[in-house]
Structure 1
């Protein structure tokens, strides 16, 4: 399931990659939604109708979820390294 690195370092698991890319994706989505709100409000769009409320909520929700994913990756990495070092 996990790939061994050539220098004997701790292997990188699939869940680590998924969480890391999910964190980056959520941050990019948040920035894109932020700029969409800026462009939409200057163009005179009705921010209370259509898809705009969902875009507005994504700007507030996505960064904390991305941070939580990043913290989860860090904690899992530290625990895995501690277990690997204990076994040596």
Structure 2
């Protein structure tokens, strides 16, 4: 057991991209959810035309995509740290 802490590996560009993409998808999904709630409250009854189908799709698929991006980030981060600890 080493008494010296191992240095943290540098954060790669792909890690930042995955983190910000996950955050962006979550924020977009929440925005779509709020827009549907506000439109329902305002009395919009025709959600079949315009951008509404896309808004519903983003609202449904967005959290799943964000979770998969976050899971990918965690797996790559754990693999990178494991590789760094074996090398060090």
- TM-score normalised by length of structure 2: 0.88
Runs of 4+ in 1 over 4 A off after TM superposition: none
**CA positional deviation for 1:81:** 0.6
State the match for 1:59 in structure 2.
59
Q: Select the structure of larger CA radius of gyration.
A: 2
**CA positional deviation for 1:60:** 0.6
SS of the residue 1:24 aligns to: helix
State the match for 1:3 in structure 2.
none
State the match for 2:80 in structure 1.
80
Q: How many residues align?
A: 82
Of stretches 7-16 and 32-41 in structure 1, the one that deviates more from structure 2 is 7-16
Greater relative CO (CA pairs within 8 A, separation 6+): 2
State the match for 1:15 in structure 2.
14
